[in-house]
Each structure stands twice: as structure tokens, then as C-alpha cells.
Structure 1
Amino acid sequence: MTTLFFDIGATLADGHQEADGSWLLRPRPRVTQVLDAFAGVPKGVISDPGTEPDAAEQIAEALHETFPGRFPDDHLVHFGPKTSRAIFDEAVTSAGEAAADCVFVGEDHEERSFARTAGLRTAPHPVFTLAAIENRPVFWTRIDVPQAVGLGVLESVANATEAVPVHVASPQLVLAMATALGVETLRQAGFTTDVRQQVEDTAAFLIRDDRPVPAPEALAGASEASRTAAEGAMRAAAAFCFTSGELTGYPEQISSLGPAPGGVYVAAPAGLPIEEVHTPGAKPGHTERLLPDPALLSRPGETQAEGFTTALHAGFDETGNGLPSPETLAAVRAAVTPEVLRAHVARISGVEPLIPGEPLKVRSRDAANADNGLVVDALVRHFQDLGLVVRRHAFRWRGHRLFNVEAEHRVEGADSAVLITGHLDSTAESGDFVDANGDPRPYDPSVDPAPGADDDGSGTAAVMAAAECLHALVAEGREPTRHVRFVLFNAEEQALFGSKRYARAAAAADDRIAGVFQMDMIAGLQDGSPPAVEIHAGSSVPGPVVAASDALGDLVARTVPAIASDFTVQQLTGPGDPALGRSDHASFHERGWAAIAVSEDLFRADGSQGGTGTRKYHTPGDTLLDEDHDTQYAAAIARSVTATALTFAGL
């Protein structure tokens, strides 16, 4: 008899740790139906709850509360690290079956690789459990959607068969996982499918290539559609060839899954550090991790985006001029100061001890560095001291257990939340490092310094200061009309992984988000340069999110002159936005929510990197003491965003 083993995090459920240390799990879409379909089959769990005291007991309790009666065999529940085949061998022994009669269902391709090494069959999503039992493969599949059909029809067909979307390139193209049965069902429903390689232990990425593509002379007289298609194919080929060349020497290589928006889709096997590959002239956010999600096509945020005008009035109608009130502006100026930002950046970038009075100074916040978790703990404590409801949203990346940090001021009767966000991790992957002999060597994220004072220590500090500002306003007796949520994403530098996980879980929970204000690098200003702020609203997702994000950007653009009259405001939107899909706000666009990213002057007028922002991007030189790090400048941007966001929340 077959025995099924499931991963918990992301595969069975989205989980977060409440302020009291307990865990709350919410089932992922289609999971409960899959479990019930195998009611008579022995089922167990292989999951890593972390090393906190009583973590395994708490996760087990949450598992049984979320899926009552569905995992009755305690001897089939295994908790521990999944960084080798050991725990999978242990699970096989507990099943009393041959390894080939056991199936591991898990989203993480690294973990599936270890399971396959131990002899288990694997499924990349619960939807494919039966396929794994029957030893049927799952394929990466491109789906062409007829214009007259639409994504809604595709969603209903996919959710009734063995198919799970992973990325929506356009209303006419979706990348998905599907079995042969799923592909046939899609074809019978009128969708054209292009089946690529087997999924097995690979994950999908979108790699953008920012280098110019010369148009062939032979296409001079061709239609615009033909030229666009040819350019896309050439860009995809260039991106794939460069990336595969940089990864030469690894036992397994990436495979092309065809052209993608601005680049190429690839399937990357376990153990391949694809996030560390950078094409010449690559802009920030050039690599995007793609996550399977049966609910990806529904975009719950679109309903809220459609009502954006109404939502806007709730926060701004009392001022009469579309600006924050004088009281709110005064409170923001008092709380969000250069001194406050400098103090926060100093602690999380290693200039000052992370905890005042204690010796530890942060060396790096890289997702692979142990200091990342210590910074998370410190941020959580600070938010708790402000009286906010704090949650840690757990996820795994390359065997590391990471957390997004969420701190919320809840308002009774509120219909939605306003998010003020940044990313807490850092990297120095573009730095120069040498070994003991003085020879060049690659960046080692586990030990090398990555202070990330600007990227994104400045944004993290701004989010903390915004929380302090709200705390002061509430202490004065003022109260927003919407929930205000401060979120610091982890692993942004790892293909937006943390915010992708957060937004996917929020969509599954039917979260109501009125708007997202992301701050990513706001302190870089080269000496003598005129101060400018970039407001990025461009969305690769069509529909209501486009106009709603533009309107959100308009609010910040109107506020900036009230804070800093000498600033130039650069509003970047539409397909020409150089930050399109490249920071954590894009993870919310993918779900249909209005979102913007506000930054220093990162891009030239032609969209290429190289504005007046920091010159120490992704290097060990990105410190608080860098000549390009300007906390006066950062405070002006942070004040503009904070004042706008709090006004939008009803203050």
C-alpha cells in the first residue's frame, strides 16, 4: 500500500506564528479536497518546525486543528531538518513499506531532490498526488489562452483537473504545471498547450535580460507583432545562453521553458544558485521565483482595485486638497527624522550594536547569514514595544528557515488594511572578495559582510519610523479608519521570494488590502546631485490594478512637495517603468492589489540603471558611513510615504 507524506509549510498550509508563540495554519487551495480524496490511504508529515522550544508540539497541534482527523497516525509524523535524505529514510522506515511505495508531496524542489535520493516518489503540489502514486510525470506547460475565452475560464478548467498555474505572462499566456491528463483536459477545453520538460526536482524562474536587442534587418518591413515576437525570442535566447554559461560546471543545468516577459522562463534543478547570476547591466529584481498556486488566476485584489476611488475618498476627502492634514504632517515630521532613521540603520547594518548595551553588531542580513534571524528577533521586539499585533510568517529557502515580519494596528470595523513595507534582508553579491592568498573568490553569503544600509536598511528604518509615528498619533487619541500593517519581507534579494509567499498567503486568506506602499532604497544621493524621488507604479498585470496603482502613486507625488519642495518627483508607470515586476510591490500586483515602490533616483531617463542613487549597490560598501548615504534625503522620502499612507488609512 502507498503511504503519503506531505510537507506542511506552503504545501499543505500557509503558517504564521502569533504573538503568544502559537501557530495558525490556513489550508492552501485544493488541499482539503486532495486529502479527503485519499481518506483511506495512510498519510503522514515530513516538516521542519524549527528549533524553538516546543515548536514541534505547537505545529502538530496546529496541524490537527487545521486538518482534523486527516493525520491520525502519529508515527507517520516526522519533524526535523530536510537538508539531507536522513528524515526521508526515517519516514520510509516508519511506513513499513519500500521507499518506492512512499510519496513525498512538497513544493520545495530542494526537498523533493532529497526525497528522490531516498527512493521516494515525489509530487510538486498536492494536486499531483494521484499522479505520483500512479508514477505519472508532471510537466512544465505553456498555455495559450484564446482572447475570447479569458483567464476565468482557464481557472475553472484547471481547477477541475491536474493542472496548477505558476505565472501569468499576459491574458493570453500562462505558465503552469500539468500532467498529460491535465494537458488533454485543457486541450479539449480549447486551450493550446506547449508541453516542456518534466518538473521532477526543478523550480521555475523568470530571468529578465536588460541588454538591448538589435532588431534584425530582415524584420524592417514586418508587422509590429512579428518584430515583438522576434525580439522576445532573441531576448529569451540571450538570457538563457548567458545564465546557462554562468552555471557551467554544476552536475545539472537549467532548461529553457520559452520566452517570458522581458526574458526567459527556466526550470532550475536543486542546488543550482540561479539567483546569483547577473547579466551585464542587470537592473534590480531581474530574477523572479515563480510559485505554483491554483488561485493565481483569480486575483482577489482586483475587486478592491476597482473600488479604489471610493477607498481614496475615505482618507483624503476632509483635507479638500488631496493632501495629508496639517496635524498628520506635523506628527510625521516629529517622528520620522534623520536621527531616528540613522539610529535604526546603524543597528541593523552593524555600525551600532543590534541591541543597545549588548556587544553583537550585525555583519549581514543576507538570507543565508545567521544574523538575519537575530535582526528578525530585534524587529519583532521593537514592534511589540509599540503595542502592535506582531506575527512571524515562516517560509524556507535553500534549507534556511526565514520569516517575514508583520506588525498590525487593528481597527474595529475596518474593511481593509493599508500596508507600509520594505525588505529586511541584504546582499553584497556584487562586491569584490579575496581569499587568504589575496586571490579573487565568490561572495560567501554565510560569512561575508553585507551591511545593506541603503538596500534596504533605509526602507526598513522608514517602516519602523512610520510605526513609531502611528504609535504617537494613537497615544494622542487619533485613530485610523483602516487597519495599518507594517510588513518587512525577507529574501527579497532571492527573487522576491518572501513577498511572493506573503502575497500568495494573503490572497488565499481573502485578505482585504486597500494599497501597498513599498520603500526600497531611499537613502542614496550622490554629493551635489539634485534630490529626486522615484515612484514606481508600473504593473505587468493588466486590469484594475494599473489605474489603482497609478492613483496610489499620484497621492505620494502630491504629498512630496508639502514635505520637500526642492525635490523632483519622477512618476514611472506603464510598461516603460524600469522597476516593473522588480521589487516586493510586484508580488501584490500579481494578485490584483494596488501597490507602488518608492525609491531614490535609481534609473536614468532611458530606464537604464545609474541615476543619482547609491554607487555601492549590492557591495560591502553600502554602509551608513558611505558618502552616498544621506539620512536627510531618506527622511524626506520616508515622511512623504508615511504621511500619504497614514492619511490613506484615515488619519
Structure 2
Amino acid sequence: MSVLFFDIGATLADVSVAADGSLTFHPRPRVVEVLDSFAQVRKGIISNPGPGATARENAAAALEAAFGGRFSDEALVHWGAKDRRGIFDGAVTSAGPGAGDCVFVGEDPDERVFAREAGMRTAAHPVFTLAAVEGRPVFWARIEAPDDRSPAELEAVAKLDEVVPVHVASDRLVLAMATARGVRAVEQSGFTADLRGQVGETSAFLVRDDRPVAVPVAFAQASAAFRATAEATMRAAAAFAFVSAELSGSRPPVSSLGPGPGGVYIAAAAGVPVEDVHIPGARPGHIERLLPDPALLSRPGQARAERFVTAFAPGAPSQETVDAVRAAVTPPALRAHVARISGAGPLVDGDPLTVRSRDASSADNERVVDALAGRLHELGLEVRRHEFTWRGHRLSNVEAELAAEASDAVVLVTAHLDSTGAEGEFFDSAGRSRPYDPAVDPAPGADDDGSGTAAVMATAECLSSMVASGRTPARSVRFVLFNAEEQGLVGSKAYARAAAAAGDAIAGVLQMDMIAGFQGGTRTMEIHAGSVVPGPVAGASDALADLVAQAGPAVAPDFTVQQLTGAADPAVGRSDHASFHERGWAAVAVSENFFDDTGPATGTRQYHRPGDTLLDRDHDTDYAASIARTVAVAALTLAGL
């Protein structure tokens, strides 16, 4: 009989770490059902809780609390790094000579490669455990719905069979993982499925291509729908050709999964650096990492989004709130926060350590997480870290909440804490051009997104001072700093997926991504509400954008506001707010004049370069403070202050 081994983080459970280091595992959808279907089968764990005996003890306690009695054989529980095959070899040995095939179930394709090398069968999601035991393959599948079928009907089929969505392109198209058995169930319910190769040790991405597409003149008389399909097909082919050429040679391959919104879906083998591919002319955020989630089709935020549109009428912000924001969210406050996390000053007062890079691959990334979490804890907020793994790196989002009694929902104020210098020019000792190396190269990210991170921190300080003076919000307020945004929204995707699984009631998400870049001219802030997700999320995000725009005159009267919405919004899917749109929640991204390409941009010229520093001529903390104040007033107004 097979012995089953499971990864924990993102596979069995979402992991949160309290300020005292204790862990909580929140079981992912369908996981308990799968485990109980193998009640008579020996099961073990292969997971990395971090170094030290205390980390292992905390993980063991959290495992028992979340999955009591389901992993009772301690000999099959293996704690440690999974960046080589050794821990998997040890797991196979622990299964004993009488064991049949060993199976490893884990979301990370790199880890599945090591498990394969150790002789294990693998599954990319717990739903496919039985398929792995029986040696049945799992495929990438494009599932299309006819006009008389809804996403809810597809969800009803998927949650009962071997089907796991990874991206919802529209009400008509879903990209998913599925076995042949799952495909039969889908087709018997009236949907169609186009299989695009085995999942194996691959992961999926959406790569957008912003280059113009010239539809042949011969199509001029065709219907609009036909021309749109032709353009999408041509764009997907062009994008895939570029990506595959960039990743050719000795690297593992990529394969096309067909047209996706604005570009192409691709499957990439483990270790393929899709995030490093930059299509000429691509706008920021053109690559999106796709994560499997059985609950993706449910869009839990939709019901609240509907109420947001019909019932929310905040009116003008209170003068007391405006005054508090003006006092706390100041250029010097923002400058001090940016200095700490971009290397212009010590990361922690009294300690000489400065930050060279916040890249997800850099050792400084974790140090910045520690410092930000520590400061938020000092403010009296409940701080948690939401852990996830990217390419062998254990990373954390930082979450800090002020809970309000009888709150009907939580307001999220967010930014991304990581950085990159991938667009810079780097040279070896002989003066030859070389690729960006996050282990050694600087990525200060003062604007992207040190400025947004600083704004979140200053808003948290503002709320803390308001509470100290006796004011309390009617809604809970949560400050979240996402990691690995530059790798395709990985951190916010994992966070939003976990929030949906936990049933979080989210009133709205206000994301700040690059708010300090200003070359001069008209002082402009962009408010992005656009989404390709159909349904109430569009109207609710527009209403949230209206709230931000209404806050502007009180704290940024000299600014021009650009509200961008609909599928034509140039920031659709390109910042962390998109991870919440995907779940049906109202969300906006607020930025400098950078994404909108209808006129000359006045944002930073040091995007993704080592020159994105606090001393850069384009870095303007007065400009950033006006945008940060606008968002802070909107967030606190939404919270009932």
C-alpha cells in the first residue's frame, strides 16, 4: 500500500505566525475531505517550519491542532528544508521496506522534482492524491462554458471531482488542473475541456503582451467576436514565441496553454525563471503567477460587493480624521520609513545594518519583514505573518490589525514590501554585461514600493494615535504588506486565497503601489479600479475609487485625479489589488502617474533599477504624502472614523 507525504504550507494549510512565534494552520478547501478518504492509509509530512527545535515543536503543535490524529506516525513526519532531495530520500526510507509507492503532495513544482528524483510519485494538489496513487496523469485544461452554463454550475461539478481551477479568465473560460475523470465530469455537465499537456512538475503563468496586434485586412468584414478571437490568438502566439525564445537553450521548456486575458497562459517547468522575461513595451506587472484553488470560482466577496454598491454612502470625511491624517502622514514620516527599508539609513535605530535589497531572493528581505513586523507590534496592533514559499525561499506577508467590536467587515490598507533591480545594467569584473543577481546586486526600491510601504506604516501610526486619543473605528482595519509582488503577485495571491478560505469579510482593499515618483508638471494620482472579473466586483471597486477621489480635495487639493476603470484600465491584473478582484472583493490600486499611457507619464524613471533611491531626483516625499494622506482618509472613513 502507498504511503502519502504532504507539504503543509499552501498545500494542506495556510500558515500564520503570531508575534510570539506560535503557528496556526488553517486547512485549505477540500483537504480534510481528502485526508479522511485515506483514513486507512499511512500518512506523513515533509515540511519546513524553519530552523531550530522550537520551530519544529510549534509546527507539530499546530499540525495536531488543525488535523488532530491524522498524522499520528511520528516516524513519517519530516521537518526540514526541501531544497534538495535528501529529505525526500529520508521520507522514503521511513516508509519501510514493506511500503509500496510513496507519494508526495505539494504545490511547489521544484519540490516535486526532488520528490521524483527520490522515486516518489507526485501530486500538485491534494485533490489529485488518488490519481497519483493510481498513476493517473493530471492535465492543464481550458474549460469553456456555453451561454446556458454559469461559473456556479462549474464550481458545483469541480468541487465534487478531480478538477482544481487556477485562473478565471471570464464567465466563459477557466484554466484548471484536471484528470481525465474530472474532464469527463465537466463534459457530462455541458462544458467543454481542451487538454494542454500534463501538469507534472510545472506551474502556470499568465503573460500579458502589450504590443499592438495587426489583424489581417481580410478579417475586416468579419464579426467583432471573430476579430477579437483572431487578435487574442495572434497576441498569444506572439507572446509565447517571445517567452520561449528568451527561455530557450539549456533551460527546461515552457509550453503554451492558449490565449489568456491580454496575452498567453504558459506552463513552465520547475526552475524556469518566467518572472525574468520582459516583453518589449510591456507595462509593469505583465506576468502573473497562477495558484490552484478549489474555491476560486466561488468569489466569496461578491455578496459584500453588491451591498457596497447599493448601501455605501460615506459622505465627506470628518474634519477630525483629516486633521489626524495631516498630523501623522507627513513627508518626514514617509522619508524616515523609506530610508530604513531602502538602505538610505539604518534598518533599525541604533543598529548599523542597512538594507541593500528587498528582492524575494535577498537575505535582507527577511530582515525587513522582521523590522516592519516589530514596528507594527509596537503600535499595539495584532501582528501576524502569513508564510508561503517561492522557489525554495520561505517568505512572509506582514499583517497587523486593529479589531473593532461588532465590526461587520475589515478595511485593508496595503502595499508590497519587496523590490527588484532587474531592469538595471550590471557588469562583471571584466566589464562584460551580466544578468541581474539578486544575491549581490542592489535593489533599493525606494519608490517601488518603498513609498507605498511607508504610506501603510504611516497610516498605521495615524490610527494608533487616534485610538490613543479615544477614537475607535466601527470597522476593523488591517494593514498588509505583501511579499514577492515582483514575482507575479505571489504573496498577495497566497494571502487573498487564504483570506477567502478563512471566510474573511473584507469591506475594501486600498493598495498603494509607487506613489513617490514625480518628474514635475501636473501633480496627478491614478486610482485604478478596473478588472476583467465580471459581476459586482466592478461596480464595488468603482465605488471604492469614488471614495478615494472624494477624499482628495481635503488633503491633496492641488492634485488631478485620474480614475481608471473597466477592462481597459492599464493596471488590470498588474498590482496586488487584482488578487482581491479575483475573489470578488472591492479593491483599488493608487499610484503616481505611471501606469496610464494616454499621456506623458510623470512617474519615476528608475523603475526596477538600482537608481530607485531616496536621493533620486524623481523621488518626491511631498508628492507621496499627498497621495498617502488621500488613501489614509479614504480608508479611515470607510472604517467609520
TM-score normalised according to structure 2 size: 0.99
CA distance in 1, matches of 2:518, 2:56: 47
What is the total number of aligned residue pairs between the two structures? 641
Residue in structure 1 matching 2:526, options 530, 534, 539: 534
Q: Give CA-to-partner distance per residue, 1:475-506, whole Å, 9 cap, x none.
A: 11000000000000000001000000000000
> Structure 2 counterpart of 1:148, which letter?
D
How far 1:312 sits from its partner (Å)?
2.6
Aligned twin of 1:612: 602
Aligned positions of 1:562-601 closer than 5 A: 562-601=554-593
Query: Which deviations, in whole Å up to 9, do the C-alpha atoms of 1:25-69 show, x marking residues without a partner?
Result: 111011101100000100000001112551111111111111111
Q: Which amino acid aligns with 2:527?
A: I
Partner of residue 459, structure 1: 452
2:292 maps to 292
Q: Alpha-carbon deviation of 1:357?
A: 1.3
1:5 and 2:2 aligned: no
How far apart are the structure 2 equivalents of 1:98 and 1:219? 65
Gaps of 5+ in 2: none
Instruction: Tell me the equivalent position of 2:504.
Output: 511
Task: Give the letter for the 1:560 counterpart.
Answer: G
Distance 1:589 1:67, change over 3 A: same
In 2, the alpha carbon distance for the partners of 1:275 and 1:632 equals: 33
Which residue in 1 is equivalent to 2:633? Answer: 643
- In structure 2, how many angstroms separate the alpha carbons of the residues matched to 1:52 and 1:375? 21
Could you say if the C-alpha distance between residues 486 and 311 of structure 1 is closer, same or farther in structure 2, counting changes exceeding 3 Å? farther
Instruction: Give, as a single letter, the amino acid of the residue that structure 1 aligns with 2:454.
Output: A
Query: What residue is the counterpart of 1:62 in the other structure?
Result: 62
Answer whether contact 2:3 2:99 (CA < 8 A) is retained: no
Kept in 2, the 8 Å contact 1:100–1:119? The answer is no
> Deviations 1:199-222 (Å, cap 9, x if unpaired)?
000000000001111121111111
Distance in 1 of aligned mates of 2:19 and 2:350? 25
Q: Secondary structure at the match of 1:597?
A: strand
How do 1:7-22 residues align onto structure 2 when only pairs under 5 Å count? 7-22=7-22
Which residue in the other structure is 1:626 paired with? 616
Unaligned runs of 5+ in 1: 317-321
1:456-478 Cα offsets, whole Å, 9 max, x none, are: 00000000000000011101100
Q: Say if 1:309 and 1:217 are closer, same or farther in 2 by CA, change over 3 A.
A: closer
Identical-pair percentage:
67
SS for the counterpart of 1:141 is strand
Compute the displacement of 1:606 (Å).
3.0
Residue type at the aligned position of 1:89? D
In structure 1, distance between residues paired with 2:69 and 2:490: 32
Q: How far apart are 1:530 and its partner, in Å?
A: 1.3
Structure 1 counterpart of 2:396, from 395, 403, 414: 403
- For 1:332-347, list aligned pairs within 5 A: 332-347=325-340
Q: Match of 2:130, SS?
A: helix
Asked if structure 1 preserves the Cα contact closer than 8 Å seen for 2:603 and 2:618, the reply is yes
For 1:87 and 1:603, how far apart are their aligned partners in 2?
45
Aligned twin of 2:465: 472
Question: Matches of 1:124 and 1:406 in 2, distance apart?
Answer: 28
Aligned to 1:103, what secondary structure does the other structure show? Answer: strand
Is it true that 1:382 corresponds to 2:375 in the alignment?
A: yes
Distance 1:309 1:223, change over 3 A: closer
Q: Over residues 394-451 of structure 1, what are the superposed CA-to-partner deviations in whole Å (9 max), with x where a residue is unaligned?
A: 0000000000000000011111100000000000000000001111000001111000
Report the Cα distance in structure 1 between the residues aligned to 2:138 and 2:99, rounded to whole angstroms: 20
- How far apart in 2 are the matches of 1:100 and 1:581? 44
On the 8 A contact 1:473/1:479 being kept in 2, the answer is yes
Conserved 8 A contact 2:112-2:201: yes
For residues 72 and 557 of structure 2, what CA distance do their matches in structure 1 show? 65
Q: Which residue of 1 aligns with 2:494?
A: 501
What corresponds to 1:525 in structure 2?
518
Alignment of 1:305-454 (within 5 A): 305-309=305-309, 312-313=312-313, 316=314, 322-454=315-447
The 1-side partners of 2:243 and 2:100 are apart by: 35
Q: CA separation in 2, counterparts of 1:371 and 1:418? A: 29
- Cα distance in 2 for residues equivalent to 1:479 and 1:71: 44
**1:561 lines up with 2:553 in the alignment:** yes
Q: What does 1:82-101 correspond to in 2, within 5 Å?
A: 82-97=82-97, 101=101
1:124 corresponds in structure 2 to 124
Offset from partner CA, 1:544-594 (integer Å, 9 cap, x none): 000000000011111112212221100000011000010000000000000
Secondary structure of 1:307 counterpart: helix
Contact (CA 8 Å) 1:336, 1:462: kept in 2 or not?
yes
- By how many angstroms is 1:251 displaced? 3.7
- Are the counterparts in 2 of residues 421 and 463 from structure 1 also a CA contact under 8 Å? yes
The equivalent of 2:105 in structure 1 is 105
For 2:188, give the aligned amino acid. Q
2:284 and 2:595 in contact (8 A); partners too: no
Q: How much does 1:605 deviate? A: 4.3
Cα pair 1:163 1:177 within 8 Å, conserved: yes
Q: Secondary structure at the match of 2:423?
A: coil
Residue 81 of structure 2 aligns to which amino acid in structure 1? P
Structure 1 residue 188 and structure 2 residue 188: aligned?
Answer: yes
Aligned partners of 2:576 and 2:454: how far apart in 1? 16
Query: Root-mean-square deviation (CA), in Å?
Result: 1.1
Distance 1:566 1:295, change over 3 A: same
Contact conserved, 2:570 with 2:596, CA < 8 A, in 1? no
More displaced stretch, 158-167 vs 596-605 = 596-605
Given the alignment of the two structures, is residue 548 of structure 1 paired with residue 527 of structure 2, yes or no?
no
2:309 and 2:539 in contact (8 A); partners too: no
| Aligned partner of residue 298 in structure 2, secondary structure | coil
Residue 401 of structure 2 contacts residue 477 of structure 2 at CA under 8 Å; is this kept in 1? yes
CA distance in 2 between counterparts of 1:232 and 1:14 reads 35
Q: Does 1:276 align with 2:276?
A: yes
What residue is the counterpart of 1:319 in the other structure? none
Write the letter of the residue equivalent to 1:332.
V
> Is the contact between residue 165 and residue 296 of structure 2 (CA under 8 Å) also seen in structure 1?
yes
Residue 225 of structure 2 is aligned to residue 235 of structure 1: no
**Aligned-partner SS, 2:567:** helix
* Contact in 2 for aligned 1:99/1:118 (Cα 8 Å): no
Aligned to 1:73: 73
Contact 2:163 2:178 in 1 (8 A): yes
Question: Does the C-alpha gap of structure 1 residues 598 and 97 become closer, same or farther in structure 2, counting only changes over 3 Å?
Answer: farther
Q: CA deviation at 1:18?
A: 1.4
Please report the TM-score for the alignment, with normalisation by the length of structure 1. Answer: 0.97
